[in-house]
Amino acid sequence: MAKLYEEIVRRRTFGIISHPDAGKTTLTEKLLLFGGAIQEAGAVKSNKIRKTATSDFMEIERQRGISVATSVLSFEYRGRKINILDTPGHKDFAEDTYRTLTAVDSTIVVVDVAKGVEEQTEKLVHVCRLRDIPMMVFINKLDREGKDPFDLLDELEQKLGLKVVPLGFPIGMGQNFQGVYNLWEETIAIFENGSKQKVGTIREFKNLEDPVLKEIIGEEALEELRDNLEIVREVYPAFDRERYLKGELQPVFFGSALNNFGVRDLLNCFVEIAPPPQAKQADKRLVQPDEPQFTGFVFKIHANMDPRHRDRLAFVKIVSGIFERNKAYYHVRLNKRLKFSAPNMFFAQKKQVVDRAYPGDIVGLHDTGNFKIGDTLTEGEKLVFKGIPRFSPEHFRYINNEDPMKAKQLAKGIEQLTDEGVAQLFTLDVNGRKVIGTAGALQYDVIQYRLEHEYGAKCSYEPLSVYKAFWVETDNPEAPDYKEFLRVKQRYMAKDKDGLPVFLADSPFSVEMVKSEYPSVRLKEMAE
């Protein structure tokens, strides 16, 4: 038990969230670089070294330079075991990110210094705030011209509803960017533009009165820094870890991930203040991480991570106890026991088979089709972890088979991709036609690409005019108005993958009509 407690205390599991292009994947790489997990970083956008980008697994991500699936990466730093979940920033893949947020204990929000707070950041931060997830903010790309630091801090408070505490403050910006004052450690790091791929040397000064510092940055910049720090200390609250852990206070750091600048400050503070693995609510009770019995849940499924092997991995977040290789665990939904001979963890891009894993860790289990997102594994207790969301898709299309000889492959591909949560599958009651619902149009390209390259199946799409999908609930299936609703709306009714009834509404007006005319019908935009 002492060993279990020791391992829990040293773990930090967090997600990185942002709008696309704020530099999230670059920051992930640089954290690995500082953690010593990789020797050299590759910028995702640069073709020359694109092949070394560590956290973008899938071919389509490499082609487009965006992250479309959450990557799970681990490394050791200062005696801590760090687990990073790098999430897609692109709004078309938001659902994957929302699910990932059920598996993290804290988050780092990345904001572009020039663009400030963007739409996707607002949505993701809103989800974090609903769950009181502790957040830190990293304002990135300081080597480019951007907004005034105080204006950015105001924007974080006004647009995101955060209560910020700057723990770093920049000296100049863009062409005049000279470094960052670290209020957490009370040191100054001077920016020297060296190699972007390796960790460069950073000159640190402990004292604002150091004559060498004055010589390097100049009298004017030093005076401005003194004035800014005075404002920071007067206007913003002092850092309070308890308030940060409750999600009431958000520390802010500044830097340039591409140039390795400010990343170490962020990481050093993060390992000190971020929470270890937390308790998680199940349907019957709250599960504490230091319970001796193992529990965990699947928050992501990723097929064919290695194109040479047709493998499917279910990512399991360990909530309590110790997970051991070759031990039989109880799969609650299937009511059967399963053994795992080669559980994986990810150390940078290398998969490693592990013998044991602890709360906070993310384990990849090879899956032959036993897992769906939200499945719970235990040592025998019948409990299910709550809050793995499925949202109503925004886009809907009929899916057609383009090669009658490959009907089986197409069916298998669609089933596996929807198990992964790439999209949602609805089958119309009236004629059995398959409808694919996604959070964004880009996912249709991903599905088409993956069906062809991973399953050898070709599909085409047909437009379908649907406003939104609503899961249908009622307290009384025999109620006359419920039966009437099913009869009248028959051509708009479908089943989701789990056989739950879904109403494919064609307009906001028809939703309002249902609510007023059929009181025993409940329409829900989210299923858990």
Predicted confidence band of residue 46 (pLDDT cuts 50, 70, 90): very low
* Predicted pLDDT of residue 222: 86
88-127 tens-digit pLDDT: 655 555 567 777 888 899 999 999 888 888 887 888 888 8
Paired tokens of 42 = 């590759």
Tell me if 265 sits within 8 A of 188, measured CB to CB.
Answer: no
DSSP per position, 54-72: SS--SHHHHHHTS--S-EE
| Residues 372 and 417 placed together within one structural domain of the fold | no
Last residue of a domain, one of 221, 247, 273: 273
16-31 tens-digit pLDDT: 888 777 777 788 878 8
| Residues 429 and 326 placed together within one structural domain of the fold | no
Q: How many angstroms separate the Cα of 118 from the Cα of each of 22, 121, 140?
A: 9, 5, 13
Residue 385 lies inside a defined structural domain of this protein: no
| Residues 54 and 75 placed together within one structural domain of the fold | yes
Tell me if 364 sits within 8 A of 353, measured CB to CB.
Answer: no
Tell me if 225 sits within 8 A of 208, measured CB to CB.
Answer: yes
| Residues 343 and 213 placed together within one structural domain of the fold | no
| Residues 398 and 351 placed together within one structural domain of the fold | no
The pLDDT > 70 percentage for the chain reads: 86
Last residue of a domain, one of 232, 247, 273: 273
Paired tokens of 70 = 């959450």
Residue 258 lies inside a defined structural domain of this protein: yes
Neighbour-count burial of 449, counting CB atoms closer than 10 A to its CB (0-12 exposed, 13-18 middle, 19+ buried): middle
Predicted confidence band of residue 44 (pLDDT cuts 50, 70, 90): very low
Residue 384 lies inside a defined structural domain of this protein: no
Which of 301-305, 381-385, 396-400 is least confident? 301-305
Cβ-proximal residues to 6 (8 Å cutoff; 6+ apart), any chain: none
| Residues 200 and 284 placed together within one structural domain of the fold | no
| Number of structural domains the chain divides into | 3
Tell me if 103 sits within 8 A of 317, measured CB to CB.
Answer: yes
Average pLDDT, the chain: 84
Query: Whole-angstrom Cα distance, residue 159 to residue 223?
Result: 31
Average pLDDT over residues 354-371: 89
pLDDT of 390 higher than 80: no
Cβ-proximal residues to 260 (8 Å cutoff; 6+ apart), any chain: 30, 33, 34, 196, 198, 199, 200
Neighbour-count burial of 132, counting CB atoms closer than 10 A to its CB (0-12 exposed, 13-18 middle, 19+ buried): exposed
* Predicted pLDDT of residue 334: 93
| Residues 91 and 195 placed together within one structural domain of the fold | yes
Residue 369 lies inside a defined structural domain of this protein: yes
Average pLDDT over residues 351-369: 89
* Predicted pLDDT of residue 432: 92
Residue 13 lies inside a defined structural domain of this protein: yes
* Predicted pLDDT of residue 74: 84
pLDDT of 272 higher than 80: yes
* Predicted pLDDT of residue 306: 54
454-485 tens-digit pLDDT: 889 999 999 999 999 999 999 999 999 999 99
CATH code, 194: 3.40.50.300
| Residues 337 and 476 placed together within one structural domain of the fold | no
CATH code, 318: 2.40.30.10
Query: Whole-angstrom Cα distance, residue 447 to residue 461?
Result: 11
Residue 155 lies inside a defined structural domain of this protein: yes
* Predicted pLDDT of residue 489: 92
pTM of the model: 0.78
Residue 288 lies inside a defined structural domain of this protein: yes
Last residue of a domain, one of 250, 273, 296: 273
Which of 165-179, 204-218, 494-508 is least confident? 204-218
* Predicted pLDDT of residue 349: 57
195-211 tens-digit pLDDT: 455 544 567 777 777 78
Q: Extract the runs of DSSP E, i.e. beta strands, from 260-394.
A: 280-281, 286-287, 295-303, 312-320, 323-324, 329-331, 336-338, 344-347, 350-353, 356-357, 362-366, 376-378, 390-391
| Residues 340 and 365 placed together within one structural domain of the fold | yes
Is the dihedral angle over the CA atoms 82, 85, 86, 89 positive or is it negative? negative
| Residues 268 and 303 placed together within one structural domain of the fold | no
Residue 383 lies inside a defined structural domain of this protein: no
| Residues 19 and 147 placed together within one structural domain of the fold | yes
CATH code, 523: 3.30.70.3280
Predicted confidence band of residue 150 (pLDDT cuts 50, 70, 90): very high
* Predicted pLDDT of residue 57: 47
| Residues 244 and 263 placed together within one structural domain of the fold | yes
Which domain covers residue 411, as residue numbers?
Answer: 390-527
AA letter at 14: F
Predicted confidence band of residue 348 (pLDDT cuts 50, 70, 90): low
Query: Whole-angstrom Cα distance, residue 432 to residue 486?
Result: 16
